[in-house]
A and B are shown apart, each in its own frame.
Chain A
Amino acid sequence: MPHFLSLPMLFLVPGLLCAGESIDYAKQIKPILKERCFSCHGALRQKGKLRLDTVELMRAGGAIVPGKVPDSPLIERIMTKGDKRMPPVSEGDALTPKQIELLRRWIQQGAKGIANEKPEPDPRDHWAFRKPVRPKVPTVKNQKWVRNSIDAFIAAEHEKRGLTPMPEAAPGLLLRRVYLDLIGLPPTREELYEFLKESANATPQAAYEKVVDRLLASPHYGERWGRHWMDVWRYSDWYGRRHVPDVWNSAPQIWRWRDWIIKSLNDDKGYDRMIQEMLAADEIAPTDDDALVATGYIVRNWYALNPHQWKRDLVEHTGKAFLGLTMNCAHCHDHKYDPISQEEYFRFRAFFEPIELRQDRVKGEADPGPFQKYDYSKLRKIVKLGAIRVYDDKMDAKTLMYHGGDERNIMKDRPPVKPGAPAFLAGDRLKIEPIAIPLVAYYPALKPFIHQDELAKREQAIQAAEVALAKKPGLAGEKLVKAARAELAAYKSRLADARAGRKHAPIGLIFPKTSSGRRKALAEWIANADNPLTARVAVNHIWLRHFDRALVETVFDFGRNGKKPSHLELLDWLACELMAPTSPTRQRGDSTNPTLAREAGTWSMKHLHRMIVLSATYRMQSSGSDDNAKHDPDNRAYWRMNGKRMEAEIVRDSILASAGELDRRIGGMVLENKEESSKRRGLYFSVFPEDGGHLKFLEIFDAPDPCDAYRRSTSVMPQQALALANNPLIIQLGRVLARKLSAKRTDEAFIVAAFEHLLSRAPTREEKATCAAFLLKQAELFRNTKRPATTPGGPSPDPVLRARESLIRVLYNHNDFVTVR
C-alpha cells in the first residue's frame, strides 16, 4: 500500500526573494541575529565591544550603515571566508545565502528597526536567576472554587482567559488518581467502598484528606516517588559489558542508593538534606553508614575506562538535575545563553576532581574486599556485597582546562583551576575547608562490628583447632592451636596499637584522613534557600509528575534558552512553600487537618504533595468542555486535569496489586530481569542502558532511559497490546482475579465488580450490556470446544468462569486501566 507515492511531492528549494519585497526586521532579521550572533554580541558578551541586539546599537557600533551595504562591515564579515568570517568557523556553519540576502536587502532598504527597541536585558536578571520571592496570593472572583493558594494562582489565569474550571472528578476516579499518584497502586474495590462510605458518613473532604494522609504515610509512597527521583538522578544498575560480565559503569551494589532514596522519602527527609547527602555524605556524615550510600548518585556516573567522562557526566547532570543549568554547554566554549564561562565549567568539575570509590563492609555480610580499580587487561568482577560510596582520594588532583571537549588537548597556557560554582549565582566565593575524617571512617577495620567479627573469627579458629587436637592429639595439632592463639594475640595487639595511634601493621585498608571539603561546599551552595534555582527545579519536577505537564517545560534547562514558566508566580510560590512552609491558610482544604502541614519541616516534599493533591486544581475531572477547549485546546491553563498513561512499572504493579498478588516487600538486592515472574514491584528490577536493561514488559511501556529520564516519554504501540494480551504472568493474574471476583456473583454482578475493582467506576448501561453479551459469546465458544484440562494457572474448565477470565484480560487492556483519569 504505497500511499506515499500518491502524495504530492514537493521539491523544496530555498525560495528566492522577490525584488522589492520589504524586509520586516522583527520577523526576518532579528531572529537570525539572535540565533547566530547575540551570544557574543549581545547582553551576555560584547566581543569587540559590539552589540547587535538593537538596530541603534548596530549602528552605533559601526556594524551597519543603513542604505549602504558596501560600507556595512556586518555584511562583509558574514560573507568572507576563512578566519575573519562571522560567526567564526568554531561556532558552526556560515549564514545561509538566503539569510545573507535578507540582511543585505534590509540594510539596502535603510535598516528600518522597530519603535522603542530595547536591548536584551542583563542575563543576570533572567527570571530563574533571581531569588524567588513569595508572591502575593491573587484575589479571584471564583473564590468558592479555591481550596488553597495553588487554586488562587490557577483561577487568576482562568479568569484572565475566560475559562471555567471543570467540576471535581467522580469520587472513584479521584480516589484512583490519588492512589496511583502517591503510591503507584490502584485502590481495591473494598477501599473504594470504604471511601464512599466515609464520604457519606463524614464529609467528602474529610474522607479525602484521610486517604491522602494515609497514602503519604504508606511505605509505598517512597517507592512511587523514589522511582520518579531515580529518573531525575539517572539511577542505573551496573553496565558496560553485561554479557562478559565486566563492570564498566555504575556498580553492582548501587541498589543501596535506591533504598536510601525510598527511605529518605518515606521519612520525609528534607530535600536539601538529600542533596547534601548525595553529593557529600562522606564529608558531612562520615560515620553514618545509612547516609553514605547516598553518594550512589556519584557512583552511578562512574566510568572505568575514562575518569574524565565520569567527571563530565557529574558536571552535566549535577547542573541539570539540581539546578536546571546546562553546565555541559560550557565544556568547549563559553555558554551561549547563560553567563557561564568555559573556565567556570572546569571550576565546577574541580569539585569532583579528588574523588575515588571504595566499598565498605556491611554489618552481617562478608568482607567485599577492596574496590577493584580499573586495569585495562583485567575484567571487573560483579561484587554485590558491601556498600559502594565515594571519598576524596587525591587531595592534590589538578583540574586542567582543555580544548574542544577532548582531554588530550590541554590548554598549556592556563594554570589548573580552583573549585567554584558560577559567579553569577554567587558560587565563586564559597568557603572550602578541608575536613578531618574520623578514625573509623578512614580506618574502617576499627568499626566495632568489624573487629568484633574479626576477633570472633579468630576465636572460632582456636576452638576448631582445639577440637581437632582433642580428637587427634599430637605435635601437629598443638602447633595449629598455638598458631591460632598467636594469630588472635597478634590481631589484638595490632588492634590496640591502631586504636592508640601507635605504629603497627594495618588490620585493614586505610583511607586519607582528610577530605577536601569541596563537595560539602558545593552541596551547601546548591541546597540553599539563597540559590534561586534549586527549589524551583524541584517543585517543577514534582508538579510535572502530578499533572503530566511541567510549569517549565524544559525541566533541566531553566536558563535563558529554556522555556518560560506557564505560571511563574505559582512556581515561585511553590518554591517558597517548599523551602519554608507557611502554616496552612484557613481556607477549605487546608483547614480540617492541618497537623501534617504544621509539622512539616523546611524542604518537606510530603507537605508539597499534600498541598497539591488537596487543591481543587488537582481534583478536577480530566474530560473537558468544548467551550474551554476553544480557548485553550491544550489545557495550558489547567481548566481540567490531564489524563496520563501509567508509567511502565505502574502498569505491571497495578496488575499484580489488583489480583492481590503483589509482593509488598520494600527494598533489597536488585532483581535480575530474567526473574520476570517475580511479583515484586517494577522498580526493584535491573535498569541499565544495554540490551536486557529492562524487564521486557516494562521496556515496551516506555521504561526510563537510565541515561536521560528527566521526563519520560509515552508511546502507544502494538507491542503494548501484544504484551498485555499475551504475557503469561498477566494471563495467570487475570485468572486469579476472575476467580476471586466471581464468587457467588451473577454475570451482571461480576461485570460491575470487575469494573469497580479495575477502573474504580461502575460500568455504564451500554458497557454492561456489551460485556454481558461478550460473556455469553465466550462461554458459548468454550462449550463448543474441548474442555481444557485442569492445570495450575490454566483456564477454568467451567465455560462461565473461563469467559470471566477473558473479560478480566479485556479490562486490563482497557485504555482506562492503563490511564490515570
Chain B
Amino acid sequence: MTHRRTFLADMGLGFTGLALSAMLQRDGVVPAASPLPAAGEGPGVRGNSLHHPAKAKSVIWIFLSGGYSHLETFDPKPALNRYAGLTFDRTPFANPLRSPLHDQRSRSVVAAEINQRDTYPIIYPMQVGWRRHGQSGIEVCDWLPHIASCVDDLTFVRSIYTTDNDHAAENQIHTGRHRLDEVQPSIGSWVHYGLRSLNDNLPSFLVLGGPTRSDTRASIDANYLGPRHAGIPLNLDTNNPLPNGRRSPDVLADEQRNEFDLINRLNGLAAVEYPDDPNLRARIRSYELAFRMQTAVPEAIGLMRESEATRRLYGLDQANTRLAGERLLAARRLVERGVRFVQVYPSPYGVWDSHRALRSNHERLCATIDKPVAGLLKDLKQRGLMDDVLVVFCTEFGRTPGLEQRGGGRDGRDHHPHGFTVFFAGAGVKKGHVHGATDELGFHALEPGHYVTDMHATVLHLLGLDGRRLEVPGRRRLNVDFGEPILEILA
C-alpha cells in the first residue's frame, strides 16, 4: 500500500503520455492495454483472455438504411417473372401468406386496432436482370457490376429474417430486439465491451454517417453497458471530427498541453489521499487518451493522404459515389489503425425504402454504393487486410415479392421482414459461398433461417468472443439475444 502511495505521489513528473501508461501497467494498477481501467471491460470481460482464438481483429459493418430489395440485388427469383401478375394462390407453390411462419416471425409495432399492415398477394416481376459471376457462379443483379466482380471473395446469407415490419427494424438488426421489447445494447457496443482497444489513441467503436436519424440512435448505443461503450459518430471534417474534440481557437496548443500536464499532476497528488479510488486512476488515463485523440482522430480520417488511385478506387472522383466512398475509405483507415468496430452508413436514412418506383430508385442507389463497396473490398484484399478485417453488408429487411398496392401503387415493394440477404467478407469466412435460401417466391427464409442475432453471434465468434459469456451483472438476457454463430459460413 505504501509503495503505491509513493508511486502515485511521484506520478506528477510531467505529462509523459505512453511512458506513464507503461508505468501504470507495470505496477499492475490498470490492466494492460485497457484504455480505461474499469470493472467489466474485456477481453471477454471476466478473465483475461478471449473465449476462443480470434479469426478477425476488426469489423466494418456496412448498413444500408430503408431496406434494399433482396430480390433485385442478391437473391433473384425467376419464379417472379414466370408468375408475374398472378396471386400467390395461383402459383404451384404454397401460399406464403398462409404459412405459420408468417405470423410467428413478424410482429407489428402498431396495435391491430390502430392499423393493420396490408399484405400484397400479386406477384411483381423482377425489375432487373441478373447473371452468374466469377468462379463461384453466384447470381447478382445487373445494377451491381462492381460488387459482382468481387463475389468470389464474399459469403452471402440469403435466409436472414427479422420480426418488425417497419423501420424500427433498423434498430433491431443492431440490438436484436423488436421495438416493443426492452432495448438492448447494439452489436458494436458488445464488441467494445468485450475487446480491448488495439490503439491507445483512438476510440474503439466509431460510426460514419450515422445514426441516420434521431430514432435510430439505439443502433449505436450501449444502453446498460454504459456510454463509454457506445459508438462515437465521427464527422469526416478533419477540422472538427469529434464533439468537443477541437481545442478552442483561443487556447494555444502548448497552453492546453501544460493544462493537461497539471491536471494529471494534481490528480496524482490527490491519489495519495485516495489511493483506492478507481475513478481517479481512470481519470488520469482518460486525460492522456483525450489529449492524444485530438491529433490521432484528424490524422485517421485524413483522406487527402491517400493516393489518387485509391481515391478513384472508392469513387471519390465521382459526385454520385463520393459520399459512400469517403465513408468507406475512412473506415479502412480506421480499421488499419486498430479501431475494432466501424459502423458505416453509405446512404442517407431510409433512401432504399422503395414503396414506389423501385426500379429507378434502386438503379440510382446501387450506382452510388456499388463502386465504393467494391473499392473497399478490393482495397482490403490488396493490402492483405482481409485476413484481419471482417466486412458485413446488410439492411433492415428485404422487400415484398408482391406488388405494393397501397394508395394505388403500381411499381414498388413493401417492407419484408420474412427473408432477406446480407453478405460477409474477409477474416474467417468462406469465399464465393452462398448459405441459406428463401422459398421459390423469395418470401420466407427457409428453415432454419437466421434471426438477426445470428449475425451478431457470428461477428462475436470471429472476434474470439462468445456472447453468452459476455455477462453483465444484474442483467438477464434471453436466448434470442445471443443467437447462434452461422457455422456454415466460417472458413
Q: Chain B 453-475, CB within 8 Å of chain A: the 1/0 string?
A: 00000000000100000000010
Q: Does B6 contact A (CB under 8 A)?
A: no
Specify which chain A residues have a CB less than 8 angstroms from the CB of B265 in the assembled complex: 770
Q: Does B196 contact A (CB under 8 A)?
A: yes
Query: Which B171-210 residues sit within 8 Å CB-CB of chain A?
Result: 180, 183, 195-196, 198-200, 203
Identify the closest chain A residue to B31 (Cβ): A3
Q: Does A144 contact B (CB under 8 A)?
A: no
Q: A406-B107, A806-B258 are in contact. Are A721 and B36 (CB under 8 A)?
A: no
Q: How far is the CA of A408 from the CA of B107 in the complex (A)?
A: 9
Q: How far is the CA of A560 from the CA of B87 in the complex (A)?
A: 55
Residue pair A306, B114 in contact (C-beta under 8 Å): yes
Q: How far is the CA of A258 from the CA of B211 in the complex (A)?
A: 29
Identify the closest chain A residue to B463 (Cβ): A4
Residue pair A725, B256 in contact (C-beta under 8 Å): yes
From A241, A622, A728, A794, contact of B274 by CB (8 A): A622
Identify the closest chain B residue to A716 (Cβ): B282
Q: How far is the CA of A404 from the CA of B462 in the complex (A)?
A: 33
Q: Chain A 300-314, CB within 8 Å of chain B: the 1/0 string?
A: 000001111100000
Minimum CB–CB distance for B206 against chain A, Å: 12
Minimum CB–CB distance for A187 against chain B, Å: 19
Q: Chain B 54-82, CB within 8 Å of chain A: the 1/0 string?
A: 10010000000000000000000000000
Q: Does A116 contact B (CB under 8 A)?
A: no
Q: How far is the CA of A766 from the CA of B113 in the complex (A)?
A: 71
Identify the closest chain B residue to A809 (Cβ): B259
Q: Does B96 contact A (CB under 8 A)?
A: no
From A9, A700, A719, contact of B50 by CB (8 A): A9
Q: Does A720 contact B (CB under 8 A)?
A: yes
Residue pair A813, B227 in contact (C-beta under 8 Å): no
Q: A242-B214, A806-B259, A815-B270 are in contact. Are A4 and B33 (CB under 8 A)?
A: yes
Query: Which A760-784 residues sit within 8 Å CB-CB of chain B?
Result: 764, 766-767, 770-771, 774, 777-778, 781-782
Specify which chain B residues have a CB less than 8 angstroms from the CB of A554 in the assembled complex: 474
Q: A626-B1, A692-B214, A813-B287 are in contact. Are A4 and B224 (CB under 8 A)?
A: no
Residue pair B226, A810 in contact (C-beta under 8 Å): no
Q: Does B260 contact A (CB under 8 A)?
A: yes
Q: How far is the CA of A795 from the CA of B260 in the complex (A)?
A: 18
Minimum CB–CB distance for B186 against chain A, Å: 13
Q: How far is the CA of A807 from the CA of B282 in the complex (A)?
A: 22
Q: How far is the CA of A10 from the CA of B279 in the complex (A)?
A: 30
Residue pair B232, A719 in contact (C-beta under 8 Å): yes
Specify which chain B residues have a CB less than 8 angstroms from the CB of A622 in the assembled complex: 274
Q: Chain B 260-289, CB within 8 Å of chain A: the 1/0 string?
A: 101101110110011011011011101101
Residue pair B270, A816 in contact (C-beta under 8 Å): yes
Q: Chain A 216-260, CB within 8 Å of chain B: the 1/0 string?
A: 000000000000000000000001111100000000000000000
Minimum CB–CB distance for A355 against chain B, Å: 15
Residue pair B109, A305 in contact (C-beta under 8 Å): yes
Residue pair A713, B213 in contact (C-beta under 8 Å): no
Q: Does B307 contact A (CB under 8 A)?
A: no
Specify which chain B residues have a CB less than 8 angstroms from the CB of A721 in the assembled complex: 260, 283, 286-287, 289-291
**Interface 9-mer from B215-223, B352-360, B390-398, B411-419:** B215-223
Minimum CB–CB distance for B450 against chain A, Å: 18
Specify which chain B residues have a CB less than 8 angstroms from the CB of A243 in the assembled complex: 213-215
Specify which chain A residues have a CB less than 8 angstroms from the CB of B266 in the assembled complex: 767, 770-771, 810, 814
Q: How far is the CA of A307 from the CA of B109 in the complex (A)?
A: 10
Q: Does B435 contact A (CB under 8 A)?
A: no
Q: How far is the CA of A795 from the CA of B12 in the complex (A)?
A: 27
Q: A241-B214, A376-B110, A696-B244 are in contact. Are A771 and B286 (CB under 8 A)?
A: no
Minimum CB–CB distance for A788 against chain B, Å: 6
Specify which chain A residues have a CB less than 8 angstroms from the CB of B304 in the assembled complex: none
Specify which chain B residues have a CB less than 8 angstroms from the CB of A1 in the assembled complex: 33, 198-200, 338
Q: How far is the CA of A693 from the CA of B230 in the complex (A)?
A: 15
Q: How far is the CA of A242 from the CA of B349 in the complex (A)?
A: 14
Q: Does A726 contact B (CB under 8 A)?
A: yes
Chain B interface category by residue count: 35 or more
Specify which chain A residues have a CB less than 8 angstroms from the CB of B180 in the assembled complex: 306, 309
Residue pair A4, B196 in contact (C-beta under 8 Å): yes
Q: Does B38 contact A (CB under 8 A)?
A: yes
Residue pair A770, B12 in contact (C-beta under 8 Å): yes
From A708, A717, A795, contact of B224 by CB (8 A): A708
Residue pair B214, A716 in contact (C-beta under 8 Å): no
Minimum CB–CB distance for A719 against chain B, Å: 7
From B114, B256, B291, contact of A305 by CB (8 A): B114
- Among B113, B223, B259, B284, chain A packs the most CB atoms within 10 A around the CB of B259
From B33, B211, B246, contact of A726 by CB (8 A): B246
Q: Does B410 contact A (CB under 8 A)?
A: no
Q: How far is the CA of A334 from the CA of B282 in the complex (A)?
A: 44
Specify which chain A residues have a CB less than 8 angstroms from the CB of B114 in the assembled complex: 305-307, 374, 376
Q: Does B255 contact A (CB under 8 A)?
A: yes
Minimum CB–CB distance for A327 against chain B, Å: 14
Q: Does A731 contact B (CB under 8 A)?
A: yes
Q: A306-B111, A781-B254 are in contact. Are A718 and B289 (CB under 8 A)?
A: yes
Minimum CB–CB distance for B247 against chain A, Å: 6
From B51, B227, B242, B259, contact of A725 by CB (8 A): B259
Residue pair A725, B243 in contact (C-beta under 8 Å): no
Specify which chain A residues have a CB less than 8 angstroms from the CB of B113 in the assembled complex: 307
Residue pair B251, A719 in contact (C-beta under 8 Å): no
Q: List 29 A-B contacts (CB under 8 A).
A: A1-B33, A1-B198, A3-B32, A3-B198, A4-B195, A9-B53, A11-B52, A240-B215, A306-B109, A307-B114, A376-B110, A408-B112, A554-B474, A691-B211, A693-B217, A696-B244, A702-B226, A717-B286, A718-B203, A722-B242, A725-B259, A725-B260, A726-B245, A728-B248, A766-B269, A781-B254, A791-B250, A807-B262, A815-B270
3 A-B pairs with the lowest CB-CB distances in the bound complex, closest first:
A721-B290, A3-B33, A718-B290
A1-B198, A643-B277, A819-B279 given; 15 more Cβ-contact pairs under 8 Å: A4-B196, A10-B47, A10-B51, A239-B215, A305-B111, A309-B180, A376-B110, A407-B111, A623-B274, A629-B276, A699-B227, A715-B228, A718-B287, A720-B286, A731-B251
